[in-house]
Amino acid sequence: MSTTKTNPGNYFEDFHVGQIIRHATPRTLTVGDAALYMGLYGPRFAVQSSDAFARTIGYPSAPLDDLLVFHTVFGKTVPDISLNAIANLGYADCRFEKPVYPGTTLSTVSEVIGLKENSNGKTGTVYVRSTGADEKGETVLSYTRWVMVRKKDEASPAPEAVVPALPETVAPEALAAAVPAIDVSRFDTNLSGSPFRWGDYEVGEKIDHVDGMTVEEAEHQIATRLYQNTAKVHFNQHTEGQGRFGRRLIYGGVVISLARALSFNGLNNAFHLAAINAGRHVAPLFAGDTVYAWSEVLDKAELPGRSDIGALRTRLVAVKNRACADFPFKTAEGGYDEGVILDLDVWLAIPR
Amino acid sequence: MSTTKTNPGNYFEDFHVGQIIRHATPRTLTVGDAALYMGLYGPRFAVQSSDAFARTIGYPSAPLDDLLVFHTVFGKTVPDISLNAIANLGYADCRFEKPVYPGTTLSTVSEVIGLKENSNGKTGTVYVRSTGADEKGETVLSYTRWVMVRKKDEASPAPEAVVPALPETVAPEALAAAVPAIDVSRFDTNLSGSPFRWGDYEVGEKIDHVDGMTVEEAEHQIATRLYQNTAKVHFNQHTEGQGRFGRRLIYGGVVISLARALSFNGLNNAFHLAAINAGRHVAPLFAGDTVYAWSEVLDKAELPGRSDIGALRTRLVAVKNRACADFPFKTAEGGYDEGVILDLDVWLAIPR
Amino acid sequence: MSTTKTNPGNYFEDFHVGQIIRHATPRTLTVGDAALYMGLYGPRFAVQSSDAFARTIGYPSAPLDDLLVFHTVFGKTVPDISLNAIANLGYADCRFEKPVYPGTTLSTVSEVIGLKENSNGKTGTVYVRSTGADEKGETVLSYTRWVMVRKKDEASPAPEAVVPALPETVAPEALAAAVPAIDVSRFDTNLSGSPFRWGDYEVGEKIDHVDGMTVEEAEHQIATRLYQNTAKVHFNQHTEGQGRFGRRLIYGGVVISLARALSFNGLNNAFHLAAINAGRHVAPLFAGDTVYAWSEVLDKAELPGRSDIGALRTRLVAVKNRACADFPFKTAEGGYDEGVILDLDVWLAIPR
C-alpha cells in the first residue's frame, strides 16, 4: 500500500486569482544563520557585521542581512508556488519594511494576483504577491514574483488572463521603513571602508566591483538548504545529470547574494538593500563558474522626512567567467551580453 | 625523542565487560550548530525550525534536532570505541529522553556490555551502552551500539563471550519523555506543512519521500567535524585513496540525517524522533552520490497518559542513486536491494 | 562614466613608517562563528568546546578559539596591507592578550613599522604591527607581519630602509593575560581527553599528531570569507586558473587552524595558543591536499605569578600529503623537506 502524503506541488490549474496560500515552515533566524551567511558570501557592510557599529549609529544591534531575510521568506514559497515551475521569470516591487534581528521568526503568505496561460497550452505564468512577517505578524518584506508553471492536463481550459500592473520602481517614500533614524555623524567611514556617501554618487556612474568569486556545489547547496528552499534542480545530480543542463542549477538567490557582497567594493556605505524594483535571472550559474559584478547608478532620491540617509537606485549586474571592466550588459540587438546572469534594479540606502 | 601522547584507540583486548569509559570532549551546542545543521541537511520540521511555533504549542523554545544531539553524543565515543573499528555493525534501543535546547553542554559515558571474538581470531564485536548527559548530569539520550574491532595481538586469548539481550523495539511507554505536554489544538498544520496526523497513517503504508540530495565531500566533512567525530576514513583522502574504497567514506550519521530531513515530505508532522529501535548501515555512501528515502509504517502506538501525541513506528530506508517510487528494500533471497544504504527502524512522535 | 570608488589596495610607495591604518570592517563574533569554526576544522579542546567545562575551571563561558580571533583580526588588514602583496613572508611577536567571548566586536588598527625595497626595484617588504581590539577599545591581540608588496611605479625612489627588531620569542611574562586564574584541581582530564599536563612534556620531545585532513575548495573559501579576508587568490578560479599555480591558493590561516586542530591529538590539554613567536608558510596548499601535523617541544616556562598553568614552546609543523611519523622538517642543506607547508613557533598554555 502506498499513499500520496507527499507534496506534489501545484500545477497551473491549481492556482486561481485571489487565492491565499499560507506557507510552511516558520523559521527563526539566529546569529548562527548570520555567521553561515557570512561564510557563504563574505559581505562586509559594517552595520550588518558589527553590533558595536550598529549600536553606535542607533540600531539596537546588528540587523540580519536583507538578503538572508529575502531568501528565507522566498524559500517558504517554493513547495507551493514553484515546485513544478519551469522558470522563475522575474521579481518586482520588493520592499524591505522592517529591520530583522537574530531571534526573529519569519513566515510567508502569498496571494495569487495574476494568471496567464501560454499560447502553447502547456504552461502558464502565475503572479504571486508574497509577504514575509515576523512572529508578531508584522510585515518585514513583500514582493511580487512571476513564474512559468506546467499544466497538469493540457486539455484543461485556460483561465481568464489577469496580468497585474507592476510599478516600474518602488516609490522613494516607501524605502525608509527598515532603517531606524541613524546618527549619521557617528557613521565612521574608516570602519565602513569608504568615504563615499550619497552625495558622492552621480546618476550614470558605473562601478566595476572588481573581485570574482568561484562557486562550489557544496556552497550553493548549503546556502539553499539554509533557506529551506526545496527546488529539486539545486540538489539532485542523479536527475539533473539527465536534465537540460546535465548538472545542478544554482539557486538564483545565491547569485543575488554574491553580487551584493561583491558590490561592497565600491558601494561600501550602501548598507541597506531597501528595495528590489525589478529583477531577472538572465542565464544560469553552475558550480565552478566565477561570479563578477558591476553597478550603474540609475537614479538618486532623497527620502521624505529623512536627512540621515538617501537612496541610490542602481542596476546590479552579475556576470560569469568574465571581468567587468567593460561593464558587459546588452548587445546592439537588445539581448544580454554573453556571460550576464543577473539584471537587478534596486534601491540602496546610504548615509548622506 | 618521540613519545606516544597521541591516542592509539582501543583494540578488542582493551575492552572488558562492565568497563566504564568517560569520553572527551564535552560540547555546548548552540544556535550556531542548529544553523549549520540546517544548512547541511535542510530539515523543515516546524517545531525545530521556529521558536514561535515551538512556544505556541508549549515548548520554551525550539529544541535542537534530535539527530544533532545523537551525532554529538555519538561523536565523543569514536576515539575510545571505534578508532580501530572495521565496521559499525548496528544500533539498538536508542531513546531520546529529554529535549535539548541551545546552550546545553553534552557529554557521553559508555559501558561495555558485551564482547564476542570472531572465529577468525583477528577481530571481535564490542557492545557498548552509551549515555549522553547534559551539564546537570541528566540523561538526554542513550543507545546501544556494536562495532567490529581489530585485535592488537591475534594470539591473545578470547574473552568469555557476552552478547547482551537487546529489545526488538523501545517500548511505547518509554517514548514520550523528550516531548513536553503540547497544546495540540495550537499545532497549526498550515505552518507545519501537512494536514496528516497520527490517525491518518496506517500500518503497512509506504511513503516515497520523492526528493533526492547529492552529497559533496565538503558537506559531510563539515558535518562530521561539527560532531567532533574523528574517524579517519571520513577525512583523509591521502590514505583512503589507497584504501578499500579508494576514497573517503561518508559517516553513517550523515545518511541518517539526510534521510530524516527528506522524510519531512510525507511525514511533515512527525516532528520528533523518539527512538531508534534498530539500525544498520547496509552499504557505504560516497561524495557525488544522491540520497533518496522512503518510509513504511510498521506499527502505531498510543502513549500512556498522553492524548496530545502518538507514536508511529516506521522503517526509514535510504537509497543511493535510485528513486524510491518502487520502494527498494530486499531481494527474494533476503539480501538488500542494490542501492539500499540504510535500514533504520524508528519511533516517531506526531500530534494526534 | 566610470569611477574608481573601489579599493585599489596600497602599493609599496603608499606606505610610510609610522603610518596608522584603521581597517574596515568591525566584526562581531558569535556562537554562530564558533560553530562554523568547529565544522571547518574540528578542534576538540575542552575549554573552547564547552561552556560547562570552561565555567568549572573559572571562565565565565567558553572563550572563542584563539585562531578564530587571529584570523578575524588579520582579515581586516588584507584590503589595506596585502591586496597587492606577492607573498606573506612571516609573522612574529603575536600575543593573545585577552580572552574573547561570543558577542565581542573586533576591529583592527595597523602601524607601518618597517619598509625595505628589494634590490630588483619592483617590490618591497612592508612590516606592520597590527592590533585587534574589542568594542571597549581593549587590545585582544597584536602581532607583527611582513609582506612583499608590488611597487606601482618601478621608477619611484626607494624609501630609507627600516627593518624592525623582532623578538625571537614572546617573553613568558607576557603570556598569561588571556587566561583567567583557573582552578586546575577542577580541570577534568577525562573530559579533556588526556592525562598529560605541563610537567609531562619534555624539551626535545616530538609528537606525531597522526591524523590527516583533506581540504576542499568549499571549506577553505567558507573559512576565509568568514574572516572577511578578501585576498583574490583564494576565491577566483577564473583568474587563478591562468595564474602561477593554475588554481586557487588556500589562505595560510586555514593551514594554521587545521594544524592546531590536529595537534589536539597529543597536546589535548594545551588549550590556549598564548603566542606565535614566529611563523612561515613554507609552501602553498591546494584543495585536495591532505594536511598532517607534528610538534616538537622547544622550551618550557613557568609563568610569573601563576601556579595554575605553564607554557610549552612548540614548533608546530604542517605537512601535506605525507604522514609525519618521521617528523619531516629540514634537509641537510637547510631547506625544508618536500611537503612541509608551515613552520610555526608558538607558546601554548597548559595546566600544571
Question: What tens digit of pLDDT does each residue of A173-224 get?
Answer: 999 899 999 999 999 999 999 999 999 999 999 999 999 999 999 999 999 9
Which C residues 10-69 touch B at CB under 8 Å?
30-36, 38-42, 44-46, 49-53, 62
Which C residues 143-172 touch B at CB under 8 Å?
none
Per-residue pLDDT at C118:
95
- A217–B214 C-beta distance less than 8 A: yes
Give the C-alpha separation, A177 to A179, whole Å. Answer: 6
Domain enclosing residue C254, as ranges: 12-351
Across the interface, of A24, A217, A219, the residue whose CB is closest to B192 is A24
- C35–B5 C-beta distance less than 8 A: no
Per-residue pLDDT at A176:
84
Q: Tell whether the model's pLDDT for residue A87 goes beyond 90.
A: no
Distance from CA of C277 to the nearest CA of A (A): 29
pLDDT tens digit sequence for A136-156: 999 999 999 999 999 999 999
Give chain B's domain count.
Answer: 1
Residues of B with Cβ-Cβ distance to A239 under 8 angstroms: 212, 290, 323
All chains having 3 or more CB pairs closer than 8 angstroms to chain B: A, C
pLDDT band at A9 (very low <50, low <70, confident <90, very high): confident
Pair A269, A194: CB distance under 8 Å: yes
Phi, psi of C79 (to 5 degrees): -60, -30
Tell which residue, A242, A217, C76, has the closest CA to residue B220. A217
Instruction: Provide the number of CB pairs (under 8 Å) joining chain B to chain C.
Output: 149
In a domain, A1, yes or no: no
Per-residue pLDDT at A2:
52
Give the C-alpha separation, C160 to C117, whole Å. Answer: 9
Q: Tell whether the model's pLDDT for residue B2 goes beyond 80.
A: no
Across the interface, of B36, B216, B267, the residue whose CB is closest to A36 is B36
Cβ neighbors of A273 (< 8 A, separation 6 or more) are: A66, A67, A96, A260, A346, A347, A348
Per-residue pLDDT at B86:
85
**Assigned C-alpha cell, A57:** 549609529
Across the interface, of A31, A207, A217, the residue whose CB is closest to C3 is A207
Pair A142, A53: CB distance under 8 Å: no
Per-residue pLDDT at B8:
83
Average pLDDT of chain A to the nearest whole number: 96
Measured at the alpha carbon of residue A10, what is the angle toward residues A8 and A15, in degrees to the nearest 5? 160
Pair A12, A149: CB distance under 8 Å: yes
In a domain, A5, yes or no: no
Pair C81, C126: CB distance under 8 Å: yes
Give the C-alpha separation, C138 to C105, whole Å. Answer: 11
Average pLDDT of chain B to the nearest whole number: 96
Q: Tell whether the model's pLDDT for residue B45 goes beyond 80.
A: yes
Q: Which residue has the cell 561570479?
A: A291
Query: DSSP label at B330?
Result: B
In a domain, B6, yes or no: no
**Assigned C-alpha cell, C8:** 585599489
Pair B127, B100: CB distance under 8 Å: no
pLDDT tens digit sequence for B115-171: 999 999 999 999 999 999 999 999 999 999 999 999 999 999 999 999 999 999 999
Instruction: Provide the number of CB pairs (under 8 Å) joining chain A to chain B.
Output: 149
Pair A318, A340: CB distance under 8 Å: yes
pLDDT tens digit sequence for A114-130: 999 999 999 999 999 99
In a domain, B3, yes or no: no
Output the domain CATH number for residue B343.
3.10.129.10
Per-residue pLDDT at C86:
85
Task: Please tell me the number of Cα atoms within 13 Å of B146 on its side-chain side.
Answer: 22
Per-residue pLDDT at A8:
83
Q: Tell whether the model's pLDDT for residue A7 goes beyond 90.
A: no
Which C residues 228-247 touch A at CB under 8 Å?
228, 230, 232, 235-239
All chains having 3 or more CB pairs closer than 8 angstroms to chain A: B, C
Give the C-alpha separation, B61 to B51, whole Å. Answer: 5
**Assigned C-alpha cell, A70:** 529575502
Give the C-alpha separation, A96 to A273, whole Å. Answer: 8
Q: Tell whether the model's pLDDT for residue A334 goes beyond 60.
A: yes
Q: How far is CA C149 from CA A322, B279, C8, C125, in A?
A: 26, 58, 13, 6
Per-residue pLDDT at C3:
57
Question: What mean pLDDT is predicted for residues A300-325?
Answer: 97
pLDDT band at B110 (very low <50, low <70, confident <90, very high): very high
Exposed (0-12), middle (13-18) or buried (19+): which is C301, by Cβ within 10 Å?
middle
pLDDT band at B189 (very low <50, low <70, confident <90, very high): very high
Exposed (0-12), middle (13-18) or buried (19+): which is B340, by Cβ within 10 Å?
buried
Per-residue pLDDT at B83:
87
pLDDT tens digit sequence for B229-257: 999 999 999 999 999 999 999 999 999 99
Give the C-alpha separation, B234 to A194, whole Å. Answer: 44
Q: How many C-beta neighbours within 10 Å does residue A280 have? A: 17
Give the C-alpha separation, C174 to A55, whole Å. Answer: 33
Pair B188, B56: CB distance under 8 Å: yes
pLDDT tens digit sequence for A245-304: 999 999 999 999 999 999 999 999 999 999 999 999 999 999 999 999 999 999 999 999
Q: Tell whether the model's pLDDT for residue A86 goes beyond 70.
A: yes
In a domain, B267, yes or no: yes
Across the interface, of A27, A226, A248, the residue whose CB is closest to B50 is A27
- B135–C193 C-beta distance less than 8 A: no
Residues of B with Cβ-Cβ distance to A221 under 8 angstroms: 214, 216, 219
Give the C-alpha separation, A183 to A58, whole Å. Answer: 6
Question: What mean pLDDT is predicted for residues A317-336?
Answer: 97
Phi, psi of C102 (to 5 degrees): -55, 140
b vs e for A164-190, b when ≥16 Cβ sit within 10 Å of the residue's Cβ?
A: bebeebbebebbbebbeebebeebeee
Per-residue pLDDT at A3:
57
Taking the C-alpha atoms of C232, C108, C33 and A237 in order, what is their torsion angle to the nearest 10 degrees?
-10
Q: Which residue has the cell 579533556?
A: C192
For B24, nearest residue in chain C (alpha carbons): C191
Q: Which of B6, B72, B100, B101 to mutate to test the interface with C (most CBs of C within 10 A)?
A: B6
- C228–A52 C-beta distance less than 8 A: no
Per-residue pLDDT at A27:
98
Per-residue pLDDT at A153:
93
Q: Chain C within 8 Å of A205 (Cβ-Cβ)?
A: yes
Q: How many C-beta neighbours within 10 Å does residue B303 have? A: 21
Structure ipTM: 0.97
User: Which positions of chain C have pLDDT values less than 70?
Assistant: 1-3
Per-residue pLDDT at A1:
53
Residues of A with Cβ-Cβ distance to C232 under 8 angstroms: 211-212
- Compare B306 and A8 and report the one with higher pLDDT: B306
Give the C-alpha separation, A47 to A67, whole Å. Answer: 14
In a domain, A270, yes or no: yes
Question: What mean pLDDT is predicted for residues B213-218?
Answer: 98
Q: What percent of chain C has pLDDT over 70?
A: 99
Measured at the alpha carbon of residue C94, what is the angle toward residues C92 and C98, in degrees to the nearest 5? 175
Per-residue pLDDT at B295:
98
For A9, nearest residue in chain B (alpha carbons): B265
Per-residue pLDDT at C4:
81
- Compare A94 and B9 and report the one with higher pLDDT: A94
